[in-house]
Chain A
Amino acid sequence: GQQLNQSPQSMFIQEGEDVSMNCTSSSIFNTWLWYKQDPGEGPVLLIALYKAGELTSNGRLTAQFGITRKDSFLNISASIPSDVGIYFCAGLVDSWGKLQFGAGTQVVVTP
């Protein structure tokens, strides 16, 4: 089956620094999604990518859909304390909406 490799597993950064994480897959996805999960809550959609090569921004977040359709990255610029959480990449498996998730990247921001 399709496997998503997400890295890094965790990041400890200072406020104001940029954050970068990525996901790679052994198979092609036609849609890549990035979610953020706060403790005790469900994931919240950050960015959706639908086209190979697409670069999309949402405020301080920027994500790209790799040309090969087997990878994606997410950047967070000028991190702030509320960026703390776990970030998940996900690939859309089928037309019904089934998702395959990466293992997550835990981001810790220190003042």
Chain B
Amino acid sequence: GAVVSQHPSWVICKSGTSVKIECRSLDFQATTMFWYRQFPKKSLMLMATSNEGSKATYEQGVEKDKFLINHASLTLSTLTVTSAHPEDSSFYICSARDPDRGRSQPQHFGDGTRLSIL
């Protein structure tokens, strides 16, 4: 079945650092991927929709200059947290679905990236 890979799984860095997270679809091409943020014991909060070859669509309240999304190929989307600060610490998860299996195909999720900013 569809597999989504996310890298890295854990990042610890100093405040002010920019951090890049990768999301790859391993056995299918994804024109659309999604980026979520999850706080401890909370649900997934959609941050943005990543569209291959065009600009990402951000949800209300999400700073697009803070969370840069690049979907440069049909199998790779990246989320860059620019000038990260402690309040950006969170669990970031991406998802994608195989469009060739129909529009009703469910999303498959990566294993998430735990970001800790010191």
Contact = CB atoms under 8 A, between A and B. Distances in A.
22 contacts: A31-B104, A33-B106, A35-B109, A40-B111, A40-B114, A42-B93, A42-B110, A42-B112, A43-B44, A45-B107, A45-B108, A50-B104, A96-B32, A97-B95, A97-B103, A98-B49, A99-B34, A99-B95, A101-B44, A102-B43, A103-B43, A106-B41
Contacts of A55: none
Interface footprint category on A: 20 to 34
A42 B104 contact: no
Interface footprint category on B: 20 to 34
The 5 closest A-B pairs by CB, nearest first: A42-B109, A95-B103, A101-B43, A42-B111, A42-B112
A59 to B, nearest CB: 16
Contact of B46 (A44, A48, A99): A99
Contacts of B6: 42
Contacts of B105: 97
